[in-house]
Amino acid sequence: MNRPNLSRTILSLLLEAFPGSVSGEKIGATGGVSRVAVWKEVQRLQGLGFPIVASRRGYRLVSIPDRFDPDFLELYLQRDAPGVRVVYREEVDSTSTLLRVLAEEGAPEGTLCIADRQTRGRGRRGRSWFSLPGKSLTFSFLLRPLLSPSFCASCTLLAGIALAEALEGLGFSPVLKWPNDVLLGGKKVAGILLETATDLDEVSWMVLGIGVNVNLEERDLASLPFQATSLLLEGGVSVPRVEVLRRFLARFLAAYRQWKEGGDFSPWVADYNRRLAFLGRSVTIVGGKSPVSGTALGVDGSGALRVMEGEKERRITWGEIA
Ligand code: BTN
């Protein structure tokens, strides 16, 4: 077995067994190599920073490696998000800007662009997105549904649900601020930016950009112009960014398959509304020609927000809850 394959075998066995151990014998038998060859490759992986320890029981990972390099990340995502192709940059202006270029060059659906540092992260409505290396999760995911553009706005809500579910799986109780903010304790923990290019009346690509404040500290967030928080601040322990990503992709891909086949957001209306912040309360929607104020009634089967303005129910398809 060549070296890349042996290191993949070692890492996938260790990930599968995490937090347990795997014997050198089992790794050797799986890879068709001697225990000495396994030990040498483990040492090489340790040298690369993989937190592997050896004991009488064999080898184990001390923690999930929070690494974005494609060799590791594709392996880590293999079971929950098979076929995802990772493009990693240590530093980039914006993962969404890069992925838009790759999309125009013909990159396939399922291309994931991830960076440790964004120098010009973009938010909705021309805002910037703040992130820090080692602490933030910033990635963009390429989709090419064969659908009409008018239907596609609800994909941002689908992503919101998947992100909420990912965080719920980690013990958090997020809510969704329509259309695409994820809040914990009333503060923003993640944002979603969906950008779409069309060709005649079909979508040619959609870039789903997601930023999550994973391990940011109080002082990191202090200068933001809105109330923000992080998983670390809310949960009290640091969370591997790859774990948030893996859980998100698993949930999102399952929903996305159904969504693009059915061409309908209705199956997720209850899931969204259950998590909708300000449901039944007064809201103001900004971002359109003029603000709309009323009572939030929930989203409908197209992802529009239903708002009772005085005696009249309105369907809001643009803007955001202020
Ligand atoms: C918002 O809440 O306004 C949306 C924020 C989206 C930020 C993410 S970070 C990864 C991707 N790259 C960007 O430049 N923006 C999105």
Atom of ligand 1 nearest to the CA of 127: 3
Confidence bin at 289 (pLDDT 50/70/90): confident
Atom of ligand 1 nearest to the CA of 93: 14
* Whether the CB of 95 sits within 6 Å of ligand 1: yes
Confidence bin at 1 (pLDDT 50/70/90): low
Which residue lies with its CA nearest to atom 9 of ligand 1?
211
Q: How far is CA 90 from CA 137, 153, 312, in A?
A: 12, 30, 51
* Whether the CB of 213 sits within 6 Å of ligand 1: no
Which amino acid is residue 67, in one-letter code?
R
> Across all residues in the chain, what is the average pLDDT?
95
What mean pLDDT is predicted for residues 35-46?
Answer: 95
Give me the pLDDT at residue 298, please: 97
CA–CA separation, 143 and 163 (whole Å): 17
pLDDT tens column, 211-265: 999 999 999 999 998 999 999 999 999 999 999 999 999 999 999 999 998 878 9
Alpha helices in the chain (DSSP H): 3-17, 24-31, 35-47, 70-77, 95-104, 154-169, 218-221, 231-235, 241-262, 269-274
Compute the distance from residue 192 Cα to the ligand 1 centre, in Å: 6
* Whether the CB of 113 sits within 6 Å of ligand 1: no
Confidence bin at 2 (pLDDT 50/70/90): confident
Q: To test ligand 1's pocket by mutation, which of 122, 195, 226, 286 has the most ligand atoms within 8 angstroms of CB? A: 122
Query: How many percent of the chain have pLDDT more than 70?
Result: 99
Confidence bin at 201 (pLDDT 50/70/90): confident
Say if residue 89's pLDDT is above 80: yes
* Whether the CB of 179 sits within 6 Å of ligand 1: no
Q: Which has more confidence, 147 or 135?
A: 135
Q: Are strands 292-299 and 282-286 parallel, antiparallel or unpaired?
A: antiparallel
Give me the pLDDT at residue 29, please: 95
Atom of ligand 1 nearest to the CA of 115: 10
What mean pLDDT is predicted for residues 288-309?
Answer: 93
* Whether the CB of 129 sits within 6 Å of ligand 1: yes
